[in-house]
């Protein structure tokens, strides 16, 4: 893979990660948009954000000579935030039926 192709791949993966992370963050901020299955969609978007961000970092480190990974790192942090908050709600949903309530 040439450096220019790798640079383009990193750019696409990073911005796709930001897009999925932003959608996940919006769903966390406005959970009434998806009343059924919302936390699972949020978790999926968070994991997708992490996968895209870390794939961008791996490609950038391996194939781009002057790679600056701050943008893909920010996308990964956004993915961790989405997974954290969506995971809390999903955990509450999983443990609620076991409490007898």
3-state secondary structure of 88: helix
CA distances from 4 to 8, 59, 66 (A): 6, 12, 12
Give the pLDDT of residue 13: 96
Give the residue among 40, 17, 19, 18 at the shortest CA–CA distance from 28.
Answer: 40
Residue-wise pLDDT tens digits, 7-48: 999 999 999 999 999 999 999 999 888 878 788 999 999 999
Domain residue spans in the chain?
A: 3-99
- Cα–Cα distance for residue pair 27/69, rounded to 1 Å: 27
Q: What is this structure's pTM?
A: 0.88
Residue-wise pLDDT tens digits, 71-84: 999 999 999 999 99
């Amino acid at each position: 893979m040439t450096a220019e192709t790798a640079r383009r791949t990193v750019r696409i993966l990073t911005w796709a990660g930001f897009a999925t992370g932003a959608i996940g963050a919006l769903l966390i901020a406005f959970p009434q948009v998806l009343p059924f299955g919302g936390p699972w969609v949020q978790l999926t978007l968070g994991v997708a954000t992490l996968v895209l961000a870390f794939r961008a970092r791996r490609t950038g480190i391996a194939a781009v000579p002057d790679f600056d990974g701050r943008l893909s790192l920010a996308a990964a942090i956004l993915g961790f935030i989405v997974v954290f908050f969506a995971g809390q709600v999903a955990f509450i949903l999983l443990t609620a039926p076991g409490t007898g309530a």
